[in-house]
Amino acid sequence: MDWAGFAPVVVGCAGKQLTAEERVLFGVRKPLGLILFARNIETPEQVRALIADFRGVVENDLAPVLIDQEGGRVARLKPPHWPTFPPGAVFGRLLQQDRARGIEAAYLNSRWIGAELAALGIDVDCAPVADLPVAGAHDVIGDRAYGDTPAAVVAIGQAVMRGLRDAGVLPVIKHIPGHGRSHTDSHLELPVVDTDIRTMEQSDFLPFRAMNNAPWAMTAHIVYGAIDADRPATLSPVVIDRIIRGHIGFNGVLISDDLTMKALKGTPAETGVASLQAGCDLVLHCSGDLAEMQGLLAALPAMTDKAAGRLADARSLLPAIPASFGPAERERYAGLMTPAAA
């Protein structure tokens, strides 16, 4: 697959089917991938048809299709067609009760999620959350976190990555290099963290460092004052080169968080170009706004050879035969989860 022939962006679409205008735009500009939200989802058959249509329009059967399916309050697939999965904090609590059970439950939970996604043609899940929350931080992470110690976040996060990969889905660690200290929601405004680097190296960065073999990672729209006081991580070559690629040692596919979040100032075209110049491999545009996508796709440079290589390397991590999730696995999972439900 020649990934370099596609625009370095994952886009959203407006509804449950591609519009005529989207089909024209995507067919000409060839965005690399698609991300799905609740507005795009009705039934399994409809989701499979939408994904197949997108891949046909961009002429790429391997076009990555992303979703945020963490469980808890961040879940795009919901009943009656899909199971309800618990938030990450449940596995952290189970880990405290019994380490082995917590890890196995998290693994089976993510493998089940992965099996549901793979059955639809979705091959990238924006999970696990590797953020380490601190007391007094904004609840935007909250119960999405696996614990309040690096060891807990790493133990559950690694299990989640294994489960998704075994099911044939690539995990995305987020929000690198750490969203746990934010006192504001980056969906609404730009958070600023003034903690010194040494403290973050000994806490916030540790889970990402331990999971730096993840195939994909998503940036945080946060200013880390001790590293780059002028730019959020997504737009900062200093944060990306010195911390994400350097100290953390992440060498996989680096995608921006959503360019339409209010933490970023400027048009998606402006922030998209700036993100790529800072060192992101891909950018993410979620709203499905046609005019914004037209401007963004017209402005973006070609995908770099390095980004294309990272995409190929990530794809190679998927198993030839993904693991299924049948009655035996569901029974084992239910037994493991009983203490957490009490």
Which residues are marked as active site?
Answer: 187, 257
Burial class (CB in 10 A: 0-12, 13-18, 19+), 126: buried
Residue 94 to residues 65, 159, 170, 247, Cα–Cα distance (Å): 31, 13, 25, 31
Looking at this protein, which amino acid is placed at residue 333? Y
Looking at this protein, which amino acid is placed at residue 327? P
- Could you tell me if 66 and 32 are in contact, meaning their C-beta atoms sit under 8 angstroms apart? no
Tokens standing for residue 231:
């730019």
Residue 38 C-beta-side C-alpha neighbours within 13 Å: 6
SS3 label, residue 332: helix
Residues 6+ apart with CB under 8 A from 236: 227, 228, 230, 278
User: What span, in angstroms and rounded, lies between the C-alpha atoms of 129 and 153?
Assistant: 8
Tokens standing for residue 16:
């449950």
- Could you tell me if 307 and 3 are in contact, meaning their C-beta atoms sit under 8 angstroms apart? yes
